[in-house]
Structure 1
Amino acid sequence: MAAKWIEFLTGSLEQKKQYRQYKARINALPEPYGAVAKATERYLMYSGFPTEGDVMMTMLGDFADLWDRAAADGTPVRDIVGDDPVEFAETFAAAYDATQWIDKERARLKRAIADAEEGEQK
């Protein structure tokens, strides 16, 4: 019972554990894979990580798998990210059909404009 209450307040304890494991995997990558993975992760964090924890953890697991495999195979990082790392990151994130935090902000902006417009008409 107490665990459910704690998870209600703080979020899934299992997902927190998975996230720590993910971070350990990324931090253990050899260079240059670690640097590129961290830079790409940072971009993903700012540009639109999924808001659903289970989707985010699936995405992060797949992301770590990608870099683990690339490092093990010795695949050049440019072969992974291509000529446009932004396009790579956005395409990678788009593969996970989920609401992103920016979607909430877009809806909030639209509501604020509609509410302001409604106030003008009164």
Structure 2
Amino acid sequence: MAKWYELVTGSLEEKKRYKDLKARQKALPDGYRTAAEGLSRYLMYAGGIDKSDVLLAMLEDLVELFEHSAAAGTPVPEIVGEDPVEFAEDFLTNYDDGRWINKERARLAEAVERATAENRAAGEKPEDER
């Protein structure tokens, strides 16, 4: 029964991990919580991550960063720097494997390869042979 349910709703384990990480985020001190919530929202919208395990790992790493920073007393501006968007974009580069745009980039490259092969098959010479 659980396997059928998970086919419809997704992994129960991943849902539990997500709820746990949101609880950890909510437990952060006020300023840290506000920044972590803002960053996680931005990362979820801008990240375009379609692999749930990668998304969860990214969000867990973000919460862990803010937990450690809060424990060490590191001010939020020292964590994110002068440009929080730049920080978020740099943070995202660590999770490129799960981004949907990578699939689209691969599809585009494959389409151009197919088009090139089709042109050659139709007798059109490559540009460097003209």
Matched, 1:59 2:55: no
Count of aligned pairs between the two proteins: 109
Q: Which runs of 5+ in 2 are unaligned?
A: 108-130
Q: Among all aligned residue pairs of Structure 1 and Structure 2, give the percentage whose two residues are the same amino acid.
A: 54
- Structural RMSD (CA): 2.1
Q: 1:102 to 1:46 in 2, by over 3 A?
A: farther
Contact 1:26 1:38 in 2 (8 A): yes
In structure 2, what is the equivalent of residue 13 of structure 1?
A: 12
Higher alpha-carbon Rg: 2
In structure 2, what is the equivalent of residue 41 of structure 1?
A: 40
Matched, 1:78 2:80: no
Runs of 4+ in 1 over 2 A off after TM superposition: 97-108
Q: Which runs of 5+ in 1 are unaligned?
A: 109-122
In structure 2, what is the equivalent of residue 100 of structure 1?
A: 99
Q: 1:49 to 1:65 in 2, by over 3 A?
A: farther
TM-score (norm 1): 0.79
Query: C-alpha deviations, 1:22-53, integer Å up to 9, x for none?
Result: 00011111021011111111111211242111
Contact 1:49 1:100 in 2 (8 A): yes
In structure 2, what is the equivalent of residue 29 of structure 1?
A: 28
